[in-house]
Structure 1
Amino acid sequence: MDRGDVSVTTDELSREFGTTVALDGVDLDLHDPEILGLAGPNGSGKTTLIRCLLGLLAPTAGTSTINGVASLELGPEERSQIGFMPQREAVYGDLTARENVSFFARLYGLSDRDAAVERALSFVDLTDRADERVRNFSGGMIRRVSLACTVVHDPAVVILDEPTVGLDPELRASMWRGFREWREAGAIVIVSTHYLGEATNCDRVLFLRDGRVLALDTPDAFLQATGTDDLEDAFLELLEGQ
């Protein structure tokens, strides 16, 4: 896919649910290929930010865009450039892994669907079990099928909400290698995680707390600024400094 210019932006993005402030003036400006980690504890606003970016949730205030198009105005053509993997299962248990991925490839109108499906299955290391029904898979394997469905159309912007939950360390490392390959091919990859240790794989990390941006920088810069050895300790230092 010719990705062209990629970008993800937010400007004073805010979202309230009644009296609860889920996002509070989040600014983001991505105009080059990179892996951005969204990090923070449960309830920090990671999923709300993702839903606003995708136009699945209208903000209370502020704006967001993907590839220059306002999130709430994303149409079929713009969405064909986006891959999204939600936290919850988004695959069909009665279908095989291959049938699930093929279904999503067909939705995107891929011309060489079979080849795209095989590449996606290989990426998540499911080629040998591609013809088994998903309902018989473990939770981790279902995540792998979901990821294959997310990237089968080679999107320019990939947004992953807790993609490595339930995966063993070897497969988790393999996925991060894949994320870096997408970045090198010109994609923006946004990965939310509460595993702060794996956020060191990101080019930059956006720390969220109570819907606010606590800090945005490279992993090395966080470690150097806080004098710590890992990002979990760095995050705690940042919290104490507020």
Structure 2
Amino acid sequence: MADTRPLLFFDSGVGGLSVLGPARALLPTAPIVYAADSAGFPYGLKSESEIAARVPALLGRLVERYRPRLVVIACNTASTIALPVIRAALDLPVVGTVPAIKPAALASKSRVIGVLGTDATVRQPYVDRLAAEFAADCTVLRHGSARLVELAEAKLRGDAGDPKEYAAIITALTGQPGGAGMDAIVLACTHFRLVEDELARAAPGVLLVDGADGIARRIAYLTQGQTWPEAPPPGIALFTRRDAGQEALIPALAGFGLERIDAL
């Protein structure tokens, strides 16, 4: 008999869809629950203590309701702050999302890389440790952008955004001392892959690096040998607050196979 337990993806908003996409490509019939903490959005402007208290409690309720086989924290901010607490609280595999500093450093020829994330992510000691371990010979410049998260959410609602805004966000990195030689930027927020084309136009010749494909491979590895339905059931998108902003996302969610909308 096929195992119908879902994969549970969690983010503050719709950024985690950039992780869901590659995961669906590897596991096309996997049942999916995508949970967005719209009532807590955006995480990047919250304190560490707020996130560390909020996310494990929410996930406990979600796991109780949907009984997933695996949880994906498709959010750099939540992962860099609360991942150990989440893993201690949940009795099932948890895959986190951390800034892809290692592959960016491996790819960089100029040895100047940028880390573009939320304000909360780029200030984390976890990022300091990744930079020290994998990019010790690089200049690592950081910029936190709450606006870029908003632009990504707006794009999924049909608003392409102003190219000047993307250019200004890139300049906030490359305009720092030493930034002119930057040849790789870590997209340290899952939202940012959703606007990768816009960022690439604002940063021609600069490699944009994120960890979504690696996370998808990790999910496939942790579930190898497990059974799946023969055909994918309708995916579930869940919001902790439902309003007009979420209604405008319905067409985009359907494109990711998320046909049913729930609330928590």
Higher strand share: 1
**Could you say whether these structures have the same fold, taking a TM-score greater than 0.5 normalized by the shorter chain as the test?**
no
Q: TM-score by structure 2 length?
A: 0.28
Going by fraction, where is helix more abundant, 1 or 2? 2
Please give the TM-score of this superposition, normalised by the length of structure 1.
0.30
